[in-house]
Amino acid sequence: MDLLVSGLAALAAGPRQHDRLLRLHAPLGPEVLVAETLDGVESVDGGGFRFDLTALSIDAHLCLDDLLGQPVLLQWQTDGDPAAMDLGAGPLRPLHGHVTRVERVGSNGGLARYALRIEPWLAFLRQRVDSFVFQDMTVVEIVESVFADYVDGVAGPGGGGHWPRRGAGR
């Protein structure tokens, strides 16, 4: 009987991230959203990465504005023997990104499903609607000027070197 009671209590508590192949760490809390599926692309050019994630929650009324634009950490299990399902065998691969899209997909049976898009902070540059003319600036100065509005901006160019001033550029 104790096994039945503990099983029902675990179901009532909702999904948990402990010992899962895919884990989501979001600012809403450790167990508020639990990763269900992940589909994405990584590339050297074209924006870095874009991952579409579905997540489950026992709360069907999360404030999505609190999640949009926020940094998140995805981790998934690597290496390990898939036949043994030994979740502690391999290291977790981390991926840091920002939520650039979030929506509630639906709910059923006490669980709500949410869809999130996770991209690098550079994805926020797509939201800019300003138009600037950069005159008498080096490429490095232009990049620093554009990235200055963002918290996660660049640290600076590597290797130094001489950067010629540009006449005018957009």
The CATH number of the domain holding residue 38 is 2.30.110.50
| Dihedral sign (CA 144, 146, 152, 154) | negative
* Same domain flag for 21 and 102: yes
Residues 40, 107, single domain; the answer is yes
The answer on 121 and 154 residing in a single domain is: no
Answer for the pair 72, 25: CB distance below 8 angstroms, yes or no.
Answer: yes
Structural domains in the chain (count): 2
pLDDT at position 116, please?
97
Residues 118 and 95 in one domain: yes
Q: What pLDDT shows up at residue 86? A: 54
The confidence score (pLDDT) of residue 130 equals 73
Same domain assignment for residues 92 and 109:
yes
Please determine, for residue 1, whether its predicted confidence score (pLDDT) is greater than 70. no
Q: Is 4 inside any structural domain?
A: no
Q: Which residues pair with 113 in a beta bridge?
A: 56, 106
Q: What is the pLDDT of residues 70-113, one digit of tens each?
A: 999 999 888 765 555 555 566 888 999 999 999 999 988 889 99
Kindly state whether residues 121 and 154 are assigned to the same domain.
no
Same domain, 51 and 73: yes
CA neighbor of 25 nearest in space, from 93, 89, 96:
96
What tokens does 159 get? 């290797």
| Three-state DSSP state, 102 | strand
Containing structural domain, residue 132: 128-169
Judge whether 132 lies within some domain: yes
Whether 136 and 78 share a structural domain: no
In a domain, 24, yes or no: yes
Q: If we measure between CA atoms, which residue out of 27, 21, 19 comes closest to residue 97?
A: 27
Same domain, 115 and 101: yes
**Are both 151 and 69 inside the same structural domain?**
no
On whether both 97 and 32 belong to a single domain, the answer is: yes
Q: What percent of the chain has pLDDT over 90?
A: 39
Tell whether 40 is covered by a domain: yes
For residues 84 and 64, the model is more confident at 64
Q: What is the pLDDT of residue 9?
A: 47
Q: How many CB atoms lie under 10 A from the CB of residue 21? A: 16
Q: Read off the pLDDT band of 2 (50, 70, 90).
A: low
Q: Output the six-digit token pair for 98.
A: 């920002």
Within-domain flag for 164: yes
Whether residue 92 sits in one domain with residue 164? no
Tens of pLDDT, residue by residue over 120-155, are 988 888 877 777 788 888 888 888 888 887 766 555
